[in-house]
């Protein structure tokens, strides 16, 4: 008698992240919410060097977020997680999303790709990875404005340095990030001639980079409402703000926001300190 | 008459990076030097939002390093470049290195992988990506110690904040980075029972993560010689320093160092300011 067919593993994802703030875990949540793929949260056994747990396997993880994949493997580092799940979520471009090794169907489809398709698939996934990394750099910089000296010190103990960092951030870095992403949006050949805004960073479908940019703009509206309001009013970055509105209304994301499950910004990566947001007058 | 066979493209890589410092370009150089794959340097047409050039295609790049691949596509963001070339350089693990879409042979071999091999290949490349990202976080943090408020300001204009950042870095962050990588090395099941140090972060062959860790330790010896000397002498991180010595002697890397082509640390990411390196006395 031959052994019974092995049952297909349940496709289960578990996100490990601190409770109470959206944080870097939010980039992962947005991907699953967009794709309509269920995931569970575990905020009690967060892996990291401070809370080692045998359950996450080797190598140990430096910090959350970490994601348990259906295979049981746990991956950490936000850009690595996003690069891993982007194809499964359809967020790595039309061909890049065929590089999905997380399901049996995905693996079979991958092997069917021609040389040319394989090259294009890798290109799509790689460009999405590159753009996502750049958005996350902006996120990190926004955090470092209120904690320039050390994440482990209180804001109150580095207020002077934060004020100095915030001035440069408001005057030159924030406009530069907006200018960069505006140039990416405006030069995307796939959306040339589009009416009503060029709102895709790459190709003409949503990627992890679009979702991340939506979240960073959202967090920056929370942290620097005055300054970002001024920059929006300048009309120089209309495509960036159009992307923000477009993503907000996407199926999956819209439902997520309306569900009340999306955690509010508070004292996490994005923080609002009025004194760091500058004067009413345009700078 | 049928057209003549298209000639195999020459496998040419061009690295765009600022001249005069190793910088983030060095992580890419080390990969090619290790693998013995030739690459050219271009320090005159460095892409980035400040020096846009049509030659690099879309999307535009935020900052160097950027790498022109044999296909003509240009990829930027250090971790994205390393993730892209790691399989080609044999630096993504034995199976992960079969995910090489940069050559025709690589693509053919990829399609031959079974479901199980494909899953394991993706795991290897993903873990190497995750570890490399974590090493690069340490690198970024080391830079931010001397430029905590803004990269665009002079060190002299943020010396007080730098002193505050350096104190936390010396006392808690630097030991924490070492502790983390020591724990990765010591818990690697592939090197259990190895005589003379467990010097592979993942599996039992060199990856981009090993090369990057070598470089960050090297840069930290330059920037914080006193403090890193104390921590080395503590004997608590012997595997990290054994990895450093092991990589230094690897074929390819050894030749690169001896060639004199490897640029010296100076006023780049890793900088030595004596006042940031603390007291002679162990902290």
Last residue in a domain, options B62, B77, B107: B107
Residue B53 has pLDDT above 60, yes or no: no
pLDDT (tens digit per residue) in B159-179: 999 999 999 999 999 999 999
Select the residue of A49, A126, A168 nearest B180 (Cβ to Cβ).
A49
Chain B touched by A183 (CB under 8 Å)? yes
What pLDDT does residue A5 have? 46
Strand pairing of A74-76 and A66-68?
Answer: antiparallel
3-state secondary structure of B233: helix
Mutation to test the A interface, candidates B77, B123, B143, most A Cβ within 10 Å: B77
Please indicate, yes or no, if residue B202 is contained in any of the structural domains.
yes
At A6, the pLDDT band (50, 70, 90 cuts) reads very low
Looking at the structure, do residues A224 and A104 belong to the same domain, yes or no? no
Chain A touched by B139 (CB under 8 Å)? no
At B9, the pLDDT band (50, 70, 90 cuts) reads low
A28 versus A11: the higher-pLDDT residue is A28
Looking at the structure, do residues B57 and B135 belong to the same domain, yes or no? no
Q: What is the mean pLDDT of chain B?
A: 92
Q: What are phi and psi of A88, to 5 degrees?
A: -60, -35
Residue A172, domain CATH: 1.20.1050.10
8 A C-beta contact, residue A217 and residue A188: no
Q: How many CB atoms lie within 10 A of CB B282?
A: 12
What pLDDT does residue B232 have? 98
User: How far is A255 from chain B, CA to nearest CA, in Å?
Assistant: 30
Last residue in a domain, options A114, A145, A179: A114
Q: Nearest to residue A243, comparing CAs of A188, A198, A180, A192? A: A198
Q: Do A133 and B79 touch (CB under 8 A)?
A: yes
pLDDT (tens digit per residue) in B71-124: 999 999 999 999 999 999 999 999 999 999 999 999 999 999 999 999 999 999
What range defines the domain where residue A203 resides? 116-276
Please indicate, yes or no, if residue A260 is contained in any of the structural domains.
yes
Q: How many domains does chain A have?
A: 2
Chain A touched by B149 (CB under 8 Å)? yes
Q: What is the mean pLDDT of chain A?
A: 92
Chain A touched by B117 (CB under 8 Å)? no
User: How far is B107 from chain A, CA to nearest CA, in Å?
Assistant: 6
Select the residue of A59, A77, A201 nearest B133 (Cβ to Cβ).
A77
Q: How far apart are the first and last CA of chain B?
A: 79
Average pLDDT over residues B208-215: 98
Average pLDDT over residues A32-47: 93
At A3, the pLDDT band (50, 70, 90 cuts) reads very low
Task: DSSP for B112-147, please give it.
Answer: T--HHHHHHHHHHHHHHHHHHHHHHHHHHHHHHHHS
Select the residue of A104, A172, A202 nearest B115 (Cβ to Cβ).
A104
Residues of A in contact with B202 (CB under 8 A): 59
Residues of A in contact with B79 (CB under 8 A): 79, 133
Please indicate, yes or no, if residue A281 is contained in any of the structural domains.
no
At A53, the pLDDT band (50, 70, 90 cuts) reads low
Looking at the structure, do residues A36 and A143 belong to the same domain, yes or no? no
Alpha carbons B209 and B215: distance in angstroms, whole number = 10
For residue B107, what is the nearest residue in chain A, using CA coordinates? A115
Cis peptide before A81 (omega within 30 of 0): no
Residue A64 has pLDDT above 60, yes or no: yes
Looking at the structure, do residues B54 and B18 belong to the same domain, yes or no? yes
**H or E element, residue A81:** helix A78-85
Residue B193 has pLDDT above 70, yes or no: yes
Select the residue of A107, A121, A133 nearest B80 (Cβ to Cβ).
A133
Please indicate, yes or no, if residue B7 is contained in any of the structural domains.
no
Q: How many CB atoms lie within 10 A of CB A249?
A: 9
Alpha carbons B186 and A59: distance in angstroms, whole number = 10
User: How far is A28 from chain B, CA to nearest CA, in Å?
Assistant: 15
Chain B touched by A150 (CB under 8 Å)? yes
CA distances from A98 to A91, A231, B202 (A): 10, 38, 27
Looking at the structure, do residues A29 and A66 belong to the same domain, yes or no? yes
Q: How many CB atoms lie within 10 A of CB A265?
A: 18
Looking at the structure, do residues A158 and A93 belong to the same domain, yes or no? no
Average pLDDT over residues B222-234: 98
Q: Tell me which of B250-259, B262-271, B273-282 is least confident.
A: B273-282
Chain A touched by B234 (CB under 8 Å)? no
What pLDDT does residue B194 have? 82
Residues of A in contact with B121 (CB under 8 A): 101
Residue A58 has pLDDT above 90, yes or no: no
What pLDDT does residue B3 have? 45
Looking at the structure, do residues B249 and B171 belong to the same domain, yes or no? yes
Q: Do B101 and A122 touch (CB under 8 A)?
A: yes
Residue A281 has pLDDT above 80, yes or no: no
Alpha carbons B221 and B270: distance in angstroms, whole number = 9
Residue A171 has pLDDT above 60, yes or no: yes
Looking at the structure, do residues A146 and A272 belong to the same domain, yes or no? yes
Instruction: Give me the percent of chain B exceeding a pLDDT of 90.
Output: 87
What pLDDT does residue A55 have? 63
**H or E element, residue A129:** helix A115-146
Looking at the structure, do residues A44 and A174 belong to the same domain, yes or no? no
Q: How many CB atoms lie within 10 A of CB B71?
A: 13
What pLDDT does residue B8 have? 46
Alpha carbons B59 and A123: distance in angstroms, whole number = 12
Please indicate, yes or no, if residue A249 is contained in any of the structural domains.
yes
Q: Which chain B residues in 50-69 lie under 8 Å from chain A, judged by CB atoms?
A: 52, 58-60, 62
Looking at the structure, do residues B92 and B186 belong to the same domain, yes or no? no
Residue A32 has pLDDT above 60, yes or no: yes
Average pLDDT over residues A117-142: 97
Please indicate, yes or no, if residue A244 is contained in any of the structural domains.
yes
What pLDDT does residue B283 have? 56
Please indicate, yes or no, if residue B8 is contained in any of the structural domains.
no
Residue A84, domain CATH: 3.40.30.10
Looking at the structure, do residues A96 and A123 belong to the same domain, yes or no? no
Query: How many Cβ pairs within 8 Å bridge chains A and B?
Result: 162
For residue B60, what is the nearest residue in chain A, using CA coordinates? A184
Q: Do B84 and A126 touch (CB under 8 A)?
A: yes
Looking at the structure, do residues B240 and B163 belong to the same domain, yes or no? yes
What pLDDT does residue A51 have? 57
Residue B210 CB partners (closer than 8 Å, separation 6+) = B199, B200, B201, B243, B247
pLDDT (tens digit per residue) in A216-233: 999 999 999 999 999 999
Please indicate, yes or no, if residue A282 is contained in any of the structural domains.
no
Select the residue of B149, B184, B202 nearest A165 (Cβ to Cβ).
B149
Last residue in a domain, options B72, B107, B142: B107
Task: Compute, in degrees rounded to 10, the torsion defined by CA atoms A272, A20, A247, A147.
Answer: 40
């Amino acid at each position: 008698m031959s052994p019974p067919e092995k049952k297909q593993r349940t496709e289960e994802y578990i996100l490990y992240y601190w409770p109470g703030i959206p944080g870097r875990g939010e980039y992962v949540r947005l991907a699953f919410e967009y794709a309509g793929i269920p995931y569970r949260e575990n905020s009690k056994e967060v892996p990291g060097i401070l809370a080692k747990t045998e359950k996450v396997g080797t190598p140990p993880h430096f910090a959350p977020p970490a994601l348990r994949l259906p295979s049981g493997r746990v991956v950490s580092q936000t850009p690595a997680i996003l690069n891993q799940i982007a194809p499964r979520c359809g967020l790595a471009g039309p061909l890049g999303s065929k590089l999905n090794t997380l399901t049996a169907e995905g693996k079979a489809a991958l092997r069917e790709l021609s040389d040319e398709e394989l090259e294009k698939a890798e290109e799509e996934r790689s460009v999405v990875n590159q753009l996502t990394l750049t958005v996350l750099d902006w996120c990190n910089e926004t955090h470092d404005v209120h904690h320039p000296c050390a994440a482990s010190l209180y804001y109150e103990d580095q207020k002077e340095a934060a004020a100095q960092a915030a001035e440069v951030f408001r005057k030159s870095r924030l406009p530069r990030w907006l200018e960069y992403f505006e140039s990416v949006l405006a030069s995307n050949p796939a959306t040339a001639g589009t009416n009503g805004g060029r709102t895709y960073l790459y190709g003409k479908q949503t990627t992890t980079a679009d979702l991340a940019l939506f979240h960073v703009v959202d967090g920056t509206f929370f942290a620097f409402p005055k300054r970002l309001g001024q920059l929006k009013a300048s009309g120089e970055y209309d495509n960036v703000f159009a992307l923000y509105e477009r993503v907000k209304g996407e199926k999956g994301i819209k439902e997520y926001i309306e569900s009340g499950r999306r955690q509010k910004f508070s004292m996490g990566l994005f923080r609002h300190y009025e004194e760091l947001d500058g004067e009413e007058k345009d700078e």
